[in-house]
Amino acid sequence: MKNEKLKVKVKGFFAYFKNKKKKINKLKLFLYAVLGLSIITFIYVTFLYFIVVDRFEGKKWQLPSKIYSDSLNLYPGIDINATSLIERLNRLNYYRTASEPRQGEYRLSGEMLDIYLHNFIYPNRPTTGLPLRLYLKNSVIERMENITTKEELFSVEIEPERITAIFEGGWQERNLVKLTGAPKYLTDAIVIIEDIRFYEHFGIDPRSVARAILANLKKAGVSQGGSTITQQLVKNFFLSHKRTFRRKINEAIMALIVEARYSKDEILEAYINEIYLGQNGSVGIFGVGEAARFYFSKEVSQLSLGESAMIAGLIRSPNGYSPYTNMNKARSRRNIVLSKMHEKGKITDDEYRAALSEPIEVRRYQIRENDAPYFVDYVRKQLQENYPESVLTGDGLQIFTTLDPHLQKIAEDSLKNGLLDLEKKYPKLKRKEADEAIQGGMLVIQPQTGYIRAMIGGRDYKVTQFNRITQAKRQPGSVFKPIVYLAALSPSSDGKPKFTPSSIIDDSEITINFDNQKWSPNNYDKKYYGPVTLRTALEKSLNVATVKIAQETGTDNIIKTAKALGIESPLLNIPSIALGTVELTPLEIGIAYSTIANNGIRPIPVSIKDVIDKDGNVIEKKQLEIEKSASPQAAFILTHLMKGVIDNGTGVGVRQLGFNRPAAGKTGTTSDFKDAWFVGYTPELLCLVWAGFDQQDVINLSGSQAALPIWTGFMKGALDKKEASDFLPPQGIIFKKVDRKSGLLANATCPDAVDEAFIEGTEPKEECSGEKGGIMKWFKGIFEK
């Protein structure tokens, strides 16, 4: 019995320790679980902490780089209609008013134009807008002054237009502002309507959460949220908008982290720059700075109380409460915000009443998505050589270009209408498929600087993005001839040119043996003209005479001259190079002609003037690059000869179409009739036009038929109402009146005379003695050789 009792006690003892051991194991397990969970939580919270810190203390936003046109300089003597100043002001979001202009407004009253200029950050010089008055006479500026100080002004810069932005994904337009730069009543309105206990809670507001739960239970659905401003910021910064339990947990943890590490002011500043406040086409409007521009065309610091309340009211539903879609809803929402501000003592009775009666005057801020797509592609390609794509799409660079939006618009219209006219006039050019249609390109350059003022790389960018100005290699045909003539007119090693404008060339049949082949060039009309002056050969674009000039000048010299003018493509040393049988880009030809127009000084093509960072610091500035590439005298003589092309030669259609100011130019047609060109210039502007098919179809039109009318239409619009000027000769040029046929000095017996330019010392010394005398002089010269 005792043994049995002992056994029971022993069993009980072991059972006790066994149960105790089980309890200890469970406790250990629980403690391990808690420890493990704590470690995991710590690691996870630390992970979220570093995400928060990285975003808050690094780059908060992906800021698209913005590409701007060139600015517009106003000065006495300018015709405001010639520069389309009013249209430009409208595109720049200036608004016309009948009263005294405030910033961003203008008033046109009789012969006076008042403009209150915007603030603008130019490279290295942030500029505060001033009230400007222009005194006009027949739309020409006579005098300018600062309205406030009455100071006379001699030059005023109108800010550049934004052409487009470079971004990744959706275009988010955001104008960053400091909290101290926003009106106090704007931030008060936002806090009161979105998170009234913002300055009291620690990131999560239990009262708001409880209130939201009750409201949602009453309506049996999700009708109200309890998110604080901090939670909203966290959600927008780090999380998706999908409503899940996991997202809400992350949101709460990250909100606590943000509140623990950053001040309320830092949080609110990030919030007012982050919030989504509307949509302008494909462009998202983010932050109060951009909203102030979009809805009221103002800087945020200029917002009134009523305008501030309206923007604060948009946060809940930007498109639902937008004054552009529903003015009544926008007004009601604004009034609710004002009522709450008044109730909380943030505004006085008088301020409340005044703001309630304040009309909502929305002024849509235009954001043009891309007005020069081919030019922008060209600029972007250049930028990519120096900046990573991540910098271009996220660092908020501002790129100032050489584009003139006024000229760009005229160029687009001229090319589009010109090609349509060709299809109407020559139905065989019409194609069924858009990507097979006849194409064209236009390049506009300022010869003295190399500034690209306009660039149209094709008929329709939506159909094809191939830039025919910079990428297409086409035969230039006769537009290459001026390079031949420049080489011929340039002084040789002995200081004298091989040819002068009055040199006589025999335009007769020729056969050239080259590389075991025979080549016999023909003129465009299959005729020969016998003895002609160099001027006549160029004016009539005579192939045979040009080939003979090239043979005597030497193709080596022609290639050397072409390279000096800016031609970079490979050039074959063959006789037919004189007739443009090589393949070049239109940009190369444009630069070569700019060098001729600039009296032999070659400008490097410029599309980007300055690049600044988001804070206005200049990080790239393009200096003008020019170099002497040809004899100034020879280049001027060539320009003088090409004036004759327009006045009397293959380019006479320019005059017939009503363009009457001094201009020089050259038509171009390839021997296979696949390319049509016209390149021409005045002292201030050069324009190149090409027309043809991408698929190399024959157009059967000359440059004077296909390209010249487009060029003329552009130049008439571009230079309308601008004072005409003529080309100025450099030193060492002498003018003589010479007979057109013989090239000798003109007199009464040779009435068909022209004022000819010569390098001093190379002018003819003998007078002509009638037509027969001139011809006999040429024959005599031949036999004397």
Q: Minimal CA–CA distance to 688: which of 593, 562, 600?
A: 593
Distance between CA atoms of residues 606 and 590, nearest Å? 12
Count Cβ atoms within 10 A of the Cβ of residue 453 and give its class: 0-12 exposed, 13-18 middle, 19 or more buried.
buried
Residue 608 has phi, psi (to 5 degrees) of: -115, 125
Q: What angle do CA 55, 61, 65 make, to 5 degrees?
A: 145
Greatest distance between any 2 Cα atoms in the chain: 165
Sequential DSSP letters for 196-238: TTTTTSSS--HHHHHHHHHHHHHTTS-------HHHHHHHHHH
Can you name the residues that pair with 121 across neighbouring β-strands? 126
> Is the CB of residue 294 less than 8 Å from the CB of residue 303?
no
Q: CA 479, CA 654: separation in Å to the nearest integer?
A: 16
CA–CA dist 279, 268 (Å, integer):
22
Q: Are 360 and 310 in contact (CB under 8 A)?
A: yes
> What's the rounded Cα separation, in Å, for the pair 593 and 680?
8
- Kindly state the helix (H) or strand (E) to which residue 778 belongs, with its residue range: helix 770-784
Token pair, residue 290, equals 């951009």
Name the DSSP class of 123. T
Kindly report the number of other CB atoms within 10 A of residue 267's CB atom. 23
How far the first Cα of the chain sits from its last, in Å, is: 156
CA distance 445 to 686: 5
Two structure tokens written together for 294: 């979009």
Is the CB of residue 556 less than 8 Å from the CB of residue 573? yes
The amino acid occupying position 413 is D
Which among 582, 479, 610, 664 is positioned nearest to 124, based on CA atoms? 610
User: Helices 229-238 and 184-194, interaxial angle, to 10°?
Assistant: 90
Question: Which residues is 369 bridged to in the sheet?
Answer: none
Catalytic residues, by residue number, are 194, 478
DSSP-derived pairing of the beta strands 120-122 and 112-116: unpaired
Rg (CA), the chain: 38
- The torsion angles phi and psi of 140, rounded to 5 degrees, stand at -100, 135
Q: Which two tokens stand for residue 774?
A: 């001139």
Measure CA 351 to chain center: 44
Residue identified by tokens 């007005």 is: 371
Cα–Cα distance between 731 and 745 in angstroms, integer?
Answer: 22
For 30, 747, 773, the CA distances from 751, given in Å and listed in that order, are 118, 7, 14
All residues at 6 or more sequence positions from 365 whose CB lies less than 8 Å from its CB, including other chains = 93, 280, 293, 294, 295, 297
**How many angstroms separate the CA atoms of 18 and 404, rounded?**
92
Residue found under tokens 């409880």: 210
Among candidate residues 400, 446, 410, 409, the one with its CA nearest the CA of residue 159: 400
DSSP 623: P
* E strands in 412-509: 439-446, 451-456, 504-507
**In sequence order, what DSSP letters do the residues of 171-188 get, joined into one string?**
EEEE----GGGS-HHHHH
Closest CA to 578 of 529, 538, 525: 538
